């Protein structure tokens, strides 16, 4: 099945701000994810419907879906491991309370 990776603006900006070597490793991890490989883990608790991709000290939070028969991996948030889960959870809660 064909797979497409969609990066949010935050993920694209985060990757663009990385030094060349970490950026290459993260791109390699995203290409592996596209092939169904990589260090992934479903999240728990309030982030139950999301999965994380690990690349060294960085984490990318994503959600998978199907669009017109194509598997789509929407990479929503990326950050260093120390901050990623708390910041993403806070961001998602802020989005929910805006409605």
Map out the domains of the chain with their CATH numbers: 3-97 (3.30.2310.20)
Which pTM does this prediction carry? 0.84
* Consecutive H or E run containing 58: strand 58-67
Percentage, residues of the chain above pLDDT 70: 93
Q: Nearest Cα to 84, choosing from 65, 64, 59? A: 59
Range 17-28 average pLDDT = 96
The pLDDT score that the predictor gives to residue 93 is: 65
The tokens for 74 are: 């929407």
Half-sphere exposure of 43 (CA within 13 A, CB side): 21
When the pLDDT of each residue in the chain is averaged and rounded to a whole number, the result is 89
The pLDDT score that the predictor gives to residue 72 is: 96
Model confidence over 73-85: pLDDT tens digits? 999 999 988 777 7
């Amino acid at each position: 099945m064909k797979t497409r990776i969609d990066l949010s603006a935050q993920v694209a900006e985060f990757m663009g701000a990385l030094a060349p070597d970490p950026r290459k490793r993260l791109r390699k991890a995203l290409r592996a994810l596209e092939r169904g490989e990589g260090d992934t883990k479903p999240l728990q608790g309030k982030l139950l419907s999301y999965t994380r991709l690990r690349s060294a000290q960085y984490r990318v939070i994503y959600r998978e879906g199907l669009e017109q028969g194509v598997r789509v991996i929407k990479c929503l948030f990326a950050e260093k491991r120390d901050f990623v889960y708390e910041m993403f959870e806070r961001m998602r809660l802020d989005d929910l309370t805006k409605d």
